[in-house]
Structure 1
Amino acid sequence: MANEMRLRLTLFFLALLWSTPTLTRQHQTAQLRDVQPILPADYPLQAAEARVEGVIEMLLLTGLDGSVDHCVVSDPMAATALAEATCALLSARAQFEPASNDGRPMRSTVRARVAWTLPKTPDSSPSVTTEIAPPRIGKEAGASPKAPPATWFPLKAYPRAAKRRGEGGSVTMLLLIDRAGRVRECNVIEGSGSTNLDEGSCMLARQNGRFTPALDVDGKAREAQYLLPGVNWVP
């Protein structure tokens, strides 16, 4: 009974975390401390020599201390040297005032957009612009869960093998959402230390996760990635 109560409380607070909060003085989103963590001098040499420009959009997972724990490029097709350099720079340098709820720090996901532009004349310098939570373009929209993700992991679904062995932990997953709003792929990017919990979490996310699909600038459904942090299992 005590074990079930601990798991029930954990899932309850996870549901509160993932429900869409009203932005009051008690809830604060993560705020970037350094307005420009990437500088023109950081332009990747390989990309500059190949005359590669572009806009890289990412999802950042910020920790309780405001550092970037994970960086995921939103468009898998943009996985170039430019995209890799952008994630590496933000992961190393970006520091946030962590998101908080009632004054308590919390992990959160933040959208970021970095535009790399090469000079048009030999005597000019490249430019780099970093935007945090940039405005959507046209009818663009991200994938959003139809219900709090905590509801995907009911008490009765605790992986049996993990429960028998007393295994617990936290699982962070990267989900690929298809045009119908279903979870097509699940990858564990921060495991619990238990294969049973990691695989069980992904199975439940694929089975139970339902999203309003992401939209492109013309309002058409598109595939999108969704970062799901901190699914906590307490044996």
Structure 2
Amino acid sequence: MFGLMFAAALANSTPVDTGRSWLTARDYPADARKRGEEGILWFVILVSPEGRVVRCDIVQSQLSSELNEKTCSLVTARAKFRPATDETGAPIYSEWQTRMEWFLPSQRQPSTTQSITMPVDMEIQVQKLPKGAREKSVGLVVKIDTDGHVTHCQGIKPDKNDAKLVNVACTQARALTMESGKDNDGRPIPFVRAMLVAFRTPVQ
């Protein structure tokens, strides 16, 4: 009997739904509504190997601490994920980030913007880019060990024309020392996360 073996690949966690069920207009705190409070916040969550949100941290926010805490509380309770996998295909902790926009119910429902719009994690200056482009971004998924070093790296759905850029980005990522991950008990953990790398040419 013969069997086929497929190489496992890193994969970041992905939401089971679109995120619209995490927060709704009904969740708007009464005090914030009275103040007419609206704005945007970025947050990062730690997803367990079982696909549960185990931690939520605000990265940037235009909002009050009340709405910040409300966001993290509801996302932690409601968000469900397909867990990330490491290079062997085994479930692993992962870091996932997005932004939330709070607007008054009379205008529109709060919505999430997926991590494709996340801030740039690393910028690389190059002399020339394909097709004369001034800038080009590539997405990576990386595994970070307990010392903050990138041990595995690959492109996120890379175009075949981006292979060289992905290789350069991964080489640069492996040279970095990043913040190591920790579980809720403060123990160091390896984890997977996405990175956005921007290549830019010098301004003429």
Structure 2 unaligned segments of length 5 or more: list them: 1-6, 124-143, 150-175, 189-204
**How much is the aligned-residue C-alpha RMSD, in angstroms?**
3.7
Cα displacement (A) at 1:105:
0.6
Deviation at 1:118, TM superposition (A): 1.7
SS of alignment partner, residue 127 of structure 1:
coil
Does 1:58 pair with 2:43? yes
Determine helix, strand or coil for the equivalent of 1:27.
coil
Alignment map for 1:95-114 (pairs within 5 Å): 95-101=80-86, 102-114=88-100
Cα 1:142/1:50, change in 2 over 3 Å = farther
Please tell me whether the aligned partners of residues 62 and 98 of structure 1 are also in contact (alpha carbons under 8 angstroms).
yes
Asked if the contact 1:113–1:131 (Cα under 8 Å) also holds between the matched residues in 2, the reply is yes
| Structure 1, unpaired ranges of 5+ | 1-23, 154-180, 193-197, 202-235
Please report the TM-score for the alignment, with normalisation by the length of structure 2.
0.54
Q: Secondary structure in 1 aligned to 2:55?
A: strand
Residue type matched to 2:101 in 1?
A
Contact preservation (8 Å) 2:8, 2:89: no
- SS in structure 2 opposite 1:72? strand
Equivalent residue pairs, number? 136
- The answer to whether residue 120 in structure 2 is matched with residue 141 in structure 1 is yes
Distance in 2 between the 1:53 and 1:46 partners?
A: 12
Contact between 1:112 and 1:132, CA under 8 Å: does it hold in 2?
A: yes
Show the 5 A alignment for 1:8-27: 26-27=9-10
User: CA–CA distance in 2 between the matches of 1:151 and 1:189?
Assistant: 14
| Structure-2 residue corresponding to 1:21 | none
CA deviation after TM superposition for structure 1 residue 132, in Å: 3.1
Matched, 1:34 2:34: no
Does 2:102 correspond to 1:116? yes
Corresponding letter in the other structure for 1:31: T
Structure 2 residue identity aligned to 1:97: R
Q: Quick one: structure 1 residues 113 and 152, their matched pair in 2 at CA, closer, same or farther if it must change by over 3 Å?
A: closer
Of 104, 124, 131, the match for 2:113:
131
Give % identity.
24
1: CA distance, partners of 2:72 / 2:100: 10
Q: Which residue in the other structure is 1:48 paired with?
A: 33
Q: CA deviation at 1:43?
A: 1.5
Shift of 1:90: 0.3
Seen in structure 2, the aligned counterparts of structure 1 residues 32 and 49 have a Cα distance that, compared at 3 Å, is: same
Maintained 8 Å contact 1:98/1:106: yes
Shift of 1:47: 1.1
Please tell me the residue identity of whatever aligns with 2:99: R
